[in-house]
Amino acid sequence: MMPTLSLRPAQAVLFDLDGTLLDSRTSHYRVYQHVFADLGIQFDHAVFTRYYSPNWYLLYERIGLPRDRWPEADQLWLRHYEQETPGPRTGAGQVLAVVKGSRRALGLVTSGERARVERDLDRLGWVALFDAVVCGGDAPRMKPHPDPLRLALSQLNLSPRAAVYVGDTIEDVQMGKAAGTATVALAGGFSSHETLSGERPDILLDSLDELIPLMILTASP
């Protein structure tokens, strides 16, 4: 773990979804395999690991998918994902409960398409937990641009300095820093500990369980 920043002043904790709260890396890889097979493009785990981004248009660009086929790829992705039911990452339910119990606001900022995200949240019984939910398309620009996180903060009527953002990719850390929040990076989702450490998040964890004592010990009075 990197040197930690005190979370005591935080009035809100905002999370990424895929790879952070949702154990969805395998599902995403499987879906992309189907999508690119349908499009006649070779795609394997090495390509996925090398080129993955929560901004999937960067992935399309990196593997050379012509721009005029991006809408088709989007529709294929959503269709194939309907067969997937990824579960929560270990400790996700407990962390969400602890944040709510500390009387902090709870937010979700994800690049995922809203209908898909809401389906996952409903399936896991998490819909009513969040005070703000920002999905792909809600903000003008995607991660790592700070627009999505700034939108969630405006919905909570909070300044960036009052919030912590928790995510599992370098884009999550970059977005948090650009928006001005504290950043917690979580390894083991879509990015490794080593990859995330290069972005110098305020806190770097290997499991959500490690976040629980930080939330308990720094709960708001």
Q: What is the pLDDT of residues 14-51, one digit of tens each?
A: 999 999 999 999 999 999 999 999 999 999 999 999 99
- pLDDT category at 220 given cuts 50, 70, 90 is very low
Q: What is the pLDDT of residues 58-85, one digit of tens each?
A: 999 999 999 999 999 999 999 999 999 9
**Quick check: helix, strand or coil at residue 60?**
helix
| Three-state SS at 118 | helix
Task: Please give the model's pTM, rounded to 2 decimal places.
Answer: 0.92
Which pLDDT does position 6 carry in this prediction? 60
pLDDT digits (tens, 9 = 90+) for 128-179: 999 999 999 999 999 999 999 999 999 999 999 999 999 999 999 999 999 9
3-state helix, strand, coil in the chain (%, to 5): 50, 15, 35
What one-letter code names the amino acid at 198?
G
Nearest Cα neighbor of 220 from 133, 122, 98 is 98
CA dist 60 and 48 (Å) reads: 11
Residues in the chain: 221
